[in-house]
Structure 1
Amino acid sequence: MVHHLPRAVLAAFALSLGLALAGLGVSAAPAQAQQGYGNTYSTPELVQTGHKFFGSAAGGLATVIEKAVSQYGQPNGYVLGEEGGGAIVGGLRYGEGMLHTRDRGTHKVFWQGPSIGWDFGGEGSRTMMLVYNLPSVDAIFQRFGGVDGSLYLIGGFGMTAMVAGNVVVVPVRAGVGARLGANIGYLKFTPQATWNPF
């Protein structure tokens, strides 16, 4: 059964989301990865790590990672984690995982974010996020807005790109459930868990 949200709630949600995205300066074009941000991970390393993480569900993973590398280059970090979310027009997503870097160690991260649009359903998924141009661990703790036209689907995996300044995060997801439709939104990374997606 679909519950209709009051128009005032949707309007306030849309306004909050719009202001947050405007503050991010989200670009309509994919950001190009830059060099000089520490040691990067090679495509074979990422594919091997992803196969171990996703297990038997990893059929189309290599193609998706190759697509990400062809667009954004080699990442200097990645996150392995799990997330859940759902939507009835307005949606929410929550997750947690570990940020891996070559020269700055491994760090616990959490993420939350709202979305709005023609979007219905629920999901739970394992998520591998490729992180580009990360100058420090603290640079992950901000809001990342979606890049228009960055959606890519193959073999049960989906890939999108999100950007904040020069830092690009490319979530690669595989899981159960369905989120049908199109939406706009952002992810906010934090060092501790929080229920506040804004």
Structure 2
Amino acid sequence: MTISPRMSDGAGTRHLSPASPRRHALAAWALLCAILPALVLALPSTARAQQAGSNTGYSQEELVNAGNEFFGQISAGLASVIERAVSNYGQPNGYILGQEATGAIFGGLRYGEGTLFTRNAGNLKVYWQGPTFGFDLGADGARTMMLVYNLPAVNSIYQRFGGVDGSAYLVGGFGMTVLRSGGITLVPVRSGIGGRLGINVGYLKFTPQPTWNPF
């Protein structure tokens, strides 16, 4: 059975005009033409907002400013070390500010504590421990800034990072070293180095609670 295109309004039968579907289509097309330019204009700003929201790295300027405030001085040495790190490894997506104490003649221990800062995942208290192997002179208690690269989640910091743990780059009282674990790279930037020279092959172990066990 074929249903004819007609409606009943209670007072009789009313047939739909064949032109009604055409009018509806024209009205829909006119509405689309009216809102399409606004949608097109909104796309670039939306894309820029998404791009800005996905930028979780810290610029060289931000790191230098944070470091100067933390170390309590405006230092060309600090700026030079951070510039070298950013040039070699890019923008970190986190950084740690803290303090550590070490002491060694031919081998020793390193203990530290600080806060991991991230742009979009909050801040996290961290502790680190580790042995150092190699030739060092004296002992120091140094403020430390660590640049953290490719950190997928804040809890991923709680592991062991190995590599060359020493003064790989020294300038103006600041030193830079490099530690790695998997795809995560740490670049500790230290002050108060004093007489601590040489390359120390060791590791740092990060934990959520302080511990005296460096292993």
Bin for the TM-score computed over the shorter chain? 0.7 to 0.9
1 CA distance for matches of 2:196 and 2:125? 26
1:115 corresponds to which residue? 132
Q: Give the 3-state SS of the residue equivalent to 1:118 in structure 2.
A: coil
The alpha carbon displacement at 1:126 in A equals: 0.4
2:29 corresponds to which residue? none
2:154 corresponds to which residue? 137
1:97 corresponds to which residue? 114
Shift in CA distance, 68/42, structure 1 to aligned 2, threshold 3 Å: same
- Quick one: which of 47, 54, 62 aligns to 2:71? 54
Q: Is the 8 A contact 1:57 1:174 kept in 2?
A: no
Query: Between Structure 1 and Structure 2, which shows a larger proportion of helix residues?
Result: 2
**RCO higher in structure (CA 8 A, sep ≥6):** 1
Query: Between Structure 1 and Structure 2, which shows a larger proportion of strand residues?
Result: 1
Mapped pair 1:39 → 2:56: yes
Mapped pair 1:63 → 2:80: yes
**Following superposition of structure 1 onto structure 2, how do residues 177-188 of structure 1 map, counting pairs within 5 Å?**
177-188=194-205
Query: Gapped runs of 5+ residues in structure 1?
Result: 1-36
2:51 corresponds to which residue? none
The alpha carbon displacement at 1:182 in A equals: 2.9
2 CA distance for matches of 1:99 and 1:125? 17
Mapped pair 1:163 → 2:173: no
Query: Gapped runs of 5+ residues in structure 2?
Result: 1-53
2:12 corresponds to which residue? none
1 CA distance for matches of 2:209 and 2:152? 20
1 CA distance for matches of 2:140 and 2:155? 28
TM-superposition CA deviations, 1:32-64 (whole Å, max 9, x none): xxxxx9611111111111110111263311111
Structure 1 segments (4+ residues) deviating >6 Å: none
Moved more, 176-185 or 164-173: 176-185
Shift in CA distance, 174/149, structure 1 to aligned 2, threshold 3 Å: closer
TM-score, scaled to structure 2: 0.71
Q: Give the 3-state SS of the residue equivalent to 2:199 in structure 1.
A: strand
1:74 corresponds to which residue? 91
TM-superposition CA deviations, 1:81-131 (whole Å, max 9, x none): 000000121110000000000111011000001011222321110000000
TM-score, scaled to structure 1: 0.77
* The structure with more radius of gyration: 2
Shift in CA distance, 111/41, structure 1 to aligned 2, threshold 3 Å: same
- Quick one: which of 189, 192, 195 aligns to 1:175? 192
